[in-house]
Amino acid sequence: MIKSLKKFLLKIFDYGFSSFVITPLLVLFWFSTWSTFDLLSISDENKIIVFAIGLCGQFFLLYHHDVLRRIFNVENQIAFAFLSRFYVLICGIVNICFWRLVWISYDMISTNDDNSIILNIIQNSVILMAFKVFVNSISIPFIIAFDDDNDKNEKVPEIFSYLKKSKSDGILFIIDCICTIVITTIIVCLWRDIWTLANNKIYSSNELYSSLTSMFIGYFVALLCFIIHPCVRALCEAFIVSRIFYHDCYVALCLFATLNIWRGLWSIFNMFIAENIAIIILINITSWLLLILLGCSNSLSIGSILIDGERECLKFQHNYISKLFLLESTSTNVEEVKKSNEV
């Protein structure tokens, strides 16, 4: 009974910490980085540079991931801690540049007509489901990348890794990287369409009400997703044939919650943070340092691509508080074993 109550309380704290602490910090980092590029991209030359960083930088980091990982993997612990956090920061900035590039480009060629937006949402969702990568459209608060997660930066985020048998298959590896970029582009377009539809439908004439309503809806649906998560996992494991259907329905609900939370926080930050580049950069550095102190700075970069229906997808990693208690209990058990051995 006590263990069940403790487990239940830890899940509540996990939801609260990931939703109300880590998520605002990550969104704040994204917002401040995005706003910095907005302020710097005044001239056409600067816009070209930022676009080049987003597109070329994304491909460069994907293709040379293993080489860069070996360079930063030094034996000195202090040097490794500094270089690894710097590498994740660069990956995060390049990732934001790429999202900004696709978002702005898609804004230029798309319309704000609700019917067209809904059709695009359905189309992009079906494409992601067809390639079994729909789960990659969701983000924090459902998935947190911890800094001690060694698998986070061990693998290139490949979608079609089964195409190649070894790293020597250079052409297939390039195709893999290109496919990863294409899928990421579709995810950005899906986010933009849902975001724009929310702008049109949720108190479009009042930004404050719109932001608060979006946050309330997002957090409420996120809580619902956390509650039904064990049931969805059990359902997917019980029905192997229809596992992907149940999984994708659940991911769609999580995506709806994720986007509403991000939109609400982003709009609040946009309303109350001054367009002063010095203040924005200070906020950017502060949010990054806080994520490092909390051990969640790996969330800035892209992790290994997940495939719909796999068991890894059904285990959303948001158990920050539970992980701390697990580490404490593990260290306590180790000390008890040592003492018993000494006796």
List pLDDT tens digits, range 156-188.
444 444 444 444 456 777 777 778 888 889 999
- Domain for residue 32, yes or no? yes
Are the beta carbons of 145 and 152 closer than 8 angstroms?
yes
- Domain for residue 330, yes or no? no
Rounded to the nearest angstrom, the gap between the alpha carbon of residue 199 and the centroid of all alpha carbons in its chain is: 22
Across 254-258, average pLDDT: 94
pLDDT number for residue 290: 93
- Domain for residue 327, yes or no? no
Angle between helices 2-17 and 207-238 (to 10 degrees): 140
Q: Cα(102)–Cα(107) distance, rounded to whole angstroms?
A: 8
Residue 9 pLDDT grade (very low, low, confident, very high; cuts 50, 70, 90): confident
Pick from 39-53, 114-128, 193-207, 281-295: least confident: 39-53
| Two tokens, residue 56 | 């070329």
- Domain for residue 105, yes or no? yes
φ and ψ at 144, to 5 degrees? Answer: -115, 130
Across 64-80, average pLDDT: 70
Give 151 or 53, the one with higher predicted confidence. Answer: 53
Domain count, the chain: 1
pLDDT over 80 (residue 214): yes
Q: Cα(153)–Cα(147) distance, rounded to whole angstroms?
A: 10
pLDDT number for residue 65: 67
- Domain for residue 339, yes or no? no
pLDDT number for residue 328: 45
- Domain for residue 101, yes or no? yes
CA angle 198, 201, 205 (to 5 degrees): 105
Residue 197, C-beta contacts closer than 8 angstroms, at least 6 positions apart = 114, 117, 118, 121
- Domain for residue 341, yes or no? no
- Domain for residue 99, yes or no? yes
pLDDT over 80 (residue 322): no
Are the beta carbons of 273 and 27 closer than 8 angstroms?
no
pLDDT over 90 (residue 317): no
Q: Domain of 117?
A: 2-321
